[in-house]
Amino acid sequence: MKKLITTILLSATTLATAQTMVRRLCEDLPINGSVRVDAFASPSNPLTQKYGLRRTGEREYEVYVNVDFSATSSYTGPHSTKEQLNRHYKNFMRECFQSTEDELVDEFQRKIKLKVYDGPSSGFTEAPPVVRISVVGHGARANAAAYPQTIDCLTVVHEVLHITGLSDEYQETAVTYWGGDTREGGAAAYDCRPIGPRDSVMRDQWTGLTRNGQGLYSGHANMIIYPGCRQNNQRYLSCIKYSYRTSAANRNSVIPWFDCATRVPDYCRSEDWVRIVP
């Protein structure tokens, strides 16, 4: 836990300091308070968290992402220099955030506003950690580190939320454990992943971001606004722990020495697992 604290706040140098930081991470930021989040993936959270967080109101938070785009050899778009590419995709990302900002609200009306960090003028004083994103050719499947050159706005928002530590919540149907196509007969990968509500942006961004309301749930909001706080995120973390693992059955293991299917808590099998419960 001490290592996680130092990564997020860059200041925990002793055990006593680390214990103090644990308490602070589980408390609300003061209004206009901010924190730089830079946490690596861990056994409890399979995703990294790299963003700047600022609380701007009683129930409003801004999340700043510091993105850097680079073209790959498969990119065929019109932007011939890295500067042009960066400018284009940052502007596009900014437009995506603005067009969907009213949808990133949980059931307690806590609102997350995504922002592109653009230097001190962004209003966030300390630069968030850089997130490098490759731009690839047509037809590629998007992920948090690689965007197809024609990526749509709703998918951009979904992928950026991975940077805040949120897991996918849809049932994998296309990829097998060995990387092949499920149409070839292989069982799908990542079948230990809990499935979220249909209107969750992490399950279906097209539904979650187009219904004029709630695209997030309280478990999502807690992960974002209490980064590193195991106490406030215990339920969510226990469910996503094996989101990117495949069961022994679906990887055709003769000896299931590790079977994630037997380790997922029962409450994760309900779509309500993303809600905070008393």
Task: Give the pairing of strands 111-116 and 60-71.
Answer: parallel
Q: Which residue has the higher pLDDT, 135 or 15?
A: 135
The answer to whether residues 240 and 196 touch, using CB atoms and an 8 Å cutoff, is no
Q: What does the pLDDT read at residue 126?
A: 81
The model's pLDDT over 53-98, given as tens digits with 9 standing for 90+, comes to 999 999 999 999 999 999 999 999 999 999 999 999 999 999 999 9
CA torsion through residues 138, 92, 126, 41, sign? negative
Q: How crowded is residue 103: how many other Cβ atoms within 10 Å of its Cβ?
A: 22
Instruction: Give the pLDDT confidence of 179-218 residue by residue, as tens digits.
Output: 888 888 889 999 999 999 999 999 999 999 987 668 999 9
For β-strands 34-39 and 49-55, DSSP reports them as antiparallel
| Arithmetic mean of pLDDT, 4-15 | 41
Tell me how far apart the alpha carbons of residues 93 and 86 are, in angstroms, rounded to a whole number. 10
CA gap 21, 106 in Å, rounded: 26
* pLDDT at 140 exceeding the cut of 60: yes
Buried b (16+ CB within 10 A) or exposed e, 231-246: ebbebbbbbbbbbbbb
Pairing between strand 130-136 and 146-148? parallel
Q: Which residues contact 202 (CB under 8 A, 6 or more apart)?
A: 158, 161, 166, 167, 168, 169, 170, 196, 208, 220
Average pLDDT of span 37-41: 94
CA separation for the pair 88, 111 (Å, rounded): 27
Cβ 241 vs Cβ 165: under 8 Å: no
Q: Is the pLDDT of residue 10 over 50?
A: no
- Report how many domains make up the chain: 1
Task: Tell me the C-alpha distance between 236 and 224, whole Å.
Answer: 12
Find how far residue 117's CA is from the centre of its chain. Answer: 17
Evaluate if residue 11 carries a pLDDT over 50.
Answer: no
pLDDT at residue 12 is higher than 80: no
Q: What is the pLDDT of residue 6?
A: 35
Please list the residues that pair with 61 across neighbouring strands. 55, 112
Mean predicted confidence (pLDDT) in 110-132: 89
Contact 148, 137 (CB under 8 A): yes
| Average pLDDT over the chain, rounded to an integer | 89
- Report the b/e string of 17-49 with b at 16+ CB within 10 A: ebeebbeebeeebeeeebbbbbbeebeebbbbb
Residue ranges of alpha helices (H) inside the chain are: 2-9, 15-25, 82-100, 153-163, 205-208, 218-225, 230-240
What range does the domain containing 197 cover?
A: 2-274
Determine the average pLDDT of the residues in 250-278.
91
Confidence category of residue 24, pLDDT binned at 50, 70, 90? low
Residues facing residue 37 across a β-bridge:
51
Q: How do residues 225-252 score in pLDDT, each as one tens digit?
A: 999 999 999 999 999 999 999 999 999 9
Are the beta carbons of 247 and 192 closer than 8 angstroms? Answer: yes
Confidence of residue 2 (pLDDT cuts 50, 70, 90): very low
Both tokens of residue 115? Answer: 């922002």
